């Protein structure tokens, strides 16, 4: 199996822990970072602006995607304009719809044509990608985040959607397809093999990089030892 350093796909770190984000940004195989309001809430972030600007004071040379959090398109636009002003490496994350299911495409089109780098997020269907492809600006960098992991959570294979999405975006020279909500290490290789541009990974996934090409017989024995150790420590008896 290929080592991470041999892959062409860009690996972005996904999280909202300040120290972890800074540490990840220093790793050579991490090409960018992303976060979202849910991750920030889970991490206990109270001040959105302070947190984001603190991260940007340290991470200046790699793309960082920061998401708007309004459900109103006018307010989304205002937030997007402010967020993009915080740094040249900022991509503004815009959900593909609002909570009512109303399309964000008019806003995305307006932002792209204003030269703002947009990360279009929460996408789960090929139709959403196809419609989005009609409003992106070919001359402005953009990221199309398809939540392959969540698609897989429904029992569907995300690969056909990802492959069709790549083909759909092929004529938009500055648009990159991102495999989002990664669930396991294998997904990186799946994304690489179809030519996906970017994949997001959490720290939990990067911690598994040590298992690439790991001896499976040894892994089996270590697993047995873990079960045995835990059973003894729990004091189980029959």
How far apart are the C-alpha atoms of 147 and 125, rounded to whole Å?
9
Q: Is the pLDDT of residue 189 over 90?
A: yes
**Residue 235 corresponds to which tokens in the numbers above?**
């004091």
Q: Is the pLDDT of residue 102 over 90?
A: yes
Report pLDDT for 207.
Answer: 96
Q: Is the pLDDT of residue 22 over 90?
A: yes
The mean pLDDT of 148-175, rounded to a whole number, is 98
Q: Is the pLDDT of residue 225 over 90?
A: yes
Q: Is the pLDDT of residue 1 over 90?
A: no
**Residue 45 corresponds to which tokens in the numbers above?**
């972030």
Tens digit of each residue's pLDDT (9 = 90 or more) over 62-77: 999 999 999 999 999 9
Give the residue extent of every domain in the chain: 4-212
Report pLDDT for 128.
Answer: 98
Q: Is the pLDDT of residue 209 over 90?
A: yes
Q: Is domain 4-212 annotated with CATH 3.40.50.2000?
A: no
- The mean of the pLDDT values for the chain is 98
Cβ–Cβ under 8 Å, residues 58 and 36: no
Report pLDDT for 2.
Answer: 92
Report pLDDT for 210.
Answer: 96
Share of the chain above pLDDT 70, in %: 100
Cβ–Cβ under 8 Å, residues 229 and 36: no
């Amino acid at each position: 199996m290929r080592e991470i350093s041999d892959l062409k796909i860009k690996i972005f770190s996904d999280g909202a822990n300040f120290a972890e984000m800074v540490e990840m940004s220093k790793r050579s195989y991490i090409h960018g970072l992303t976060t979202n309001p849910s991750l920030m809430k889970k991490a206990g972030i109270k001040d959105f602006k302070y947190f984001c600007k603190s991260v940007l004071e340290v991470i200046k040379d790699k793309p960082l995607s920061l998401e708007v959090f309004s459900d109103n398109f006018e307010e989304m636009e205002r937030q997007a304009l402010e967020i993009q002003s915080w740094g040249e490496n900022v991509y503004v994350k815009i959900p593909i719809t609002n909570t009512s299911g109303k399309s964000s495409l008019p806003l995305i089109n307006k932002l792209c044509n204003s030269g703002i780098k947009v990360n279009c997020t929460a996408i789960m269907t090929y139709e959403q990608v196809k419609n989005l492809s009609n409003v992106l600006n070919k001359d402005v960098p953009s990221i199309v985040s398809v939540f392959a992991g969540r698609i897989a959570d429904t029992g569907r294979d995300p690969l056909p959607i990802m492959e069709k999405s790549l083909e759909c975006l092929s004529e938009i020279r500055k648009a990159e397809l991102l495999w989002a909500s990664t669930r396991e290490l294998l997904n990186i290789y799946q994304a690489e093999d179809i030519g996906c541009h970017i994949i997001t990974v959490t720290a939990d996934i990067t911690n598994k990089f040590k298992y690439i090409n790991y001896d499976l017989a040894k892994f089996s024995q270590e697993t047995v030892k873990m079960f045995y150790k835990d059973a003894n420590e729990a004091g189980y008896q029959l």
